[in-house]
């Protein structure tokens, strides 16, 4: 395959571009890294499954095969797990990244792994999710917006005889994008950061969640775990469409690892602040676990006090350090000896709704390790399990009454050049089967106060719930007219 590339010397508004190009696509992706925080991701990737080389891959744990849907309408079954399939596809379709390209994704797979894929990574298949456990689209056509440099890149992969078709797509798409507004960060939606109305939608509810915390403490006292990430879910009928919800969410809770995915009747609106794994063209792998959350306050003095209290709290610091140790161990299985280092420990990152305590761990992959090998060794992210990982996941399986699904998994890309950028699926709403689902939780340790842990879980869910509770015709509406497709 060869890569065709065209650049527009301005950053097109990503929301306008997605609505115009992919708003009606049955399968589409929008990896939405608005430049919300200095030093965090600056590139957004948009596309769908309409390119001549595109395919959509679906998988359910335990099925023994993946289902591959090709652009010409064909469907085939490939034996193995989703990770087996992706590893082989990336090996056979390898395309080197052009050195001049400022980002590390020039085609490949975009999609998600749900939490239950843990069964293929050393965990158990305890619960079955209603929706597919993994879905990925092979992206051979993409729009990439560089929010920092102020450019828009168009990329098209072509087979041996497809160069003319790729060039035609570049010309047509560039002409459409020239009619759209220049990018700017969307106006934020402000509102009270309360948890009113949430409890009635909880699957297990307050009393059961508090009992489950007590169960966690019993396991901790018995030495079965050091830290257990306990979660619950909110469910309610889906009235608003997924894209409308995401357009609201990105204003109500902007975050650097956000995404909107659509796979037929499944839609994901994600505003994650947490990076799971990034693998760059130099084979350096980075993970940025979050443990520790505090609310924001409109009073700057109070807000600063909350931020400092988060940083200084011994319990929160201990939670974060335990997950850092777990991830150092995960990376140590796939990285060169001596290369795994904690680059930043217990740093505070502030977003519109929350303060978070974040650490950064990096290493260099061994020569015999591919991107999917690294993913398999580290999935699911330790911040969503606790430590030690395998035994703690077993404890979680016994406490939680249903599958987590997409929540607690990962969303992102796996590039043909051996690169990846994947988030942890938190602050996310999933629409499937006529219902919305929001997951939230927190780390339980021996020093945990049950009521405080319950309130923190609700606080995390509130940022997403608020997006679903906001009328899409109000604050979520765009301030520009999107040209009709023609």
| Structure tokens belonging to residue 276 | 């799971």
CA distance 130 to 95: 35
Would you write out the chain's pLDDT as a tens digit for each of its 486 residues? 899 999 999 999 999 999 999 999 999 999 998 765 555 668 999 999 999 999 999 999 999 999 999 998 999 999 999 999 999 999 999 998 998 899 999 999 999 999 999 999 999 999 999 999 999 999 999 999 999 999 999 999 998 877 899 999 999 999 999 999 998 877 777 665 677 889 999 999 999 999 999 999 999 999 999 999 999 999 999 988 999 999 999 988 888 899 999 999 999 999 999 999 999 999 999 999 988 878 888 899 999 999 999 889 898 898 899 999 999 999 999 999 999 999 999 988 887 777 889 999 999 999 999 999 999 999 999 999 999 999 999 999 999 999 999 999 999 999 999 999 999 999 999 999 999 999 999 999 999 999 999 999 998 999 899 888 775 533 333 333 333 332
Q: How many CB atoms lie within 10 A of CB 451?
A: 11
Verify whether residue 274 is a known catalytic residue: yes
Among 291, 400, 456, 460, the active-site one is: 291
**Cβ within 8 Å of residue 208, ≥6 positions away:** none
Residue with tokens 């990285």: 335
Among 15, 116, 267, 274, the active-site one is: 274
Helix, coil or strand: residue 283: coil
Verify whether residue 291 is a known catalytic residue: yes
Q: Where in 114-197 does DSSP place strands (E)? A: 134-139, 141-146, 151-158
- The predicted model scores a pTM of 0.93
Q: Residue 36's pLDDT is what?
A: 59
CA distance 66 to 90: 15
| Residue 483: DSSP 8-state | P
């Amino acid at each position: 395959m060869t890569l065709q590339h065209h650049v527009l010397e301005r950053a097109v508004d990503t929301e306008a571009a997605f609505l115009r190009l992919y708003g009606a696509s049955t399968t589409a992706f929008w990896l939405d890294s608005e430049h919300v925080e200095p030093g965090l991701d600056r590139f957004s990737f948009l596309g769908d499954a309409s390119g001549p080389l595109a395919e959509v891959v679906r998988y359910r744990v335990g099925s023994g095969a993946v289902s591959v849907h090709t652009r010409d309408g064909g469907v085939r079954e490939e034996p193995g797990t989703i990770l087996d399939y992706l590893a082989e596809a990336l090996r056979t379709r390898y395309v080197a990244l052009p050195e001049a390209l400022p980002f590390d994704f020039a085609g490949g797979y975009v999609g998600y792994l749900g939490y239950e894929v843990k069964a293929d990574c050393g965990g158990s298949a305890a619960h079955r999710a209603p929706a597919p456990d993994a879905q990925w689209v092979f992206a051979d056509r993409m729009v990439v917006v560089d929010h920092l440099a102020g450019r828009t890149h168009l990329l098209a992969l072509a087979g041996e005889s497809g160069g003319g078709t790729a060039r035609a797509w570049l010309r047509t798409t560039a002409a459409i994008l020239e009619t759209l507004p220049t990018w700017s960060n969307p106006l934020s939606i402000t509102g009270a950061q309360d948890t009113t109305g949430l409890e009635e939608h909880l699957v297990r509810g307050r009393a059961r969640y508090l009992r489950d915390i007590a169960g966690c403490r019993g396991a901790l006292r018995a030495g079965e775990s050091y830290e257990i990430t306990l979660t619950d879910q909110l469910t309610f009928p889906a009235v608003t469409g997924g894209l409308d919800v995401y357009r609201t969410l990105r204003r109500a809770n902007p975050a650097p690892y956000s995404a909107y995915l659509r796979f037929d009747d499944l839609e994901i609106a994600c505003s994650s602040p947490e990076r799971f794994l990034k693998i760059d063209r130099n084979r350096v792998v980075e993970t940025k676990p979050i443990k520790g959350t505090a609310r924001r306050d409109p009073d700057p003095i109070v807000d600063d006090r909350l931020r400092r209290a988060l940083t200084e709290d011994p319990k929160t610091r201990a939670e974060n350090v335990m997950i850092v140790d777990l991830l150092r161990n995960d990376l140590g299985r796939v990285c060169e000896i001596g290369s795994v280092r904690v680059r930043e420990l217990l740093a505070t990152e502030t977003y519109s709704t929350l303060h978070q305590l974040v650490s950064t761990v990096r290493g260099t992959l061994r020569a015999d390790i591919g991107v999917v090998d690294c993913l398999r060794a580290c999935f699911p992210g330790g911040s969503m399990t606790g430590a030690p990982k395998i035994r703690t996941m077993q404890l979680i399986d016994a406490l939680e009454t249903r599958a987590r699904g997409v929540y607690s998994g990962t969303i992102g890309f796996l590039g043909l050049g051996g690169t990846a950028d994947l988030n942890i699926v938190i602050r996310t709403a999933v629409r499937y089967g006529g219902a919305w689902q929001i997951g939230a939780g927190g780390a339980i340790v021996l020093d945990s106060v049950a009521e405080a842990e319950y309130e923190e879980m609700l606080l995390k869910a509130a940022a997403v719930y608020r997006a679903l509770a906001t009328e899409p015709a109000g604050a979520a509406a765009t301030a520009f007219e999107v040209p009709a497709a023609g």
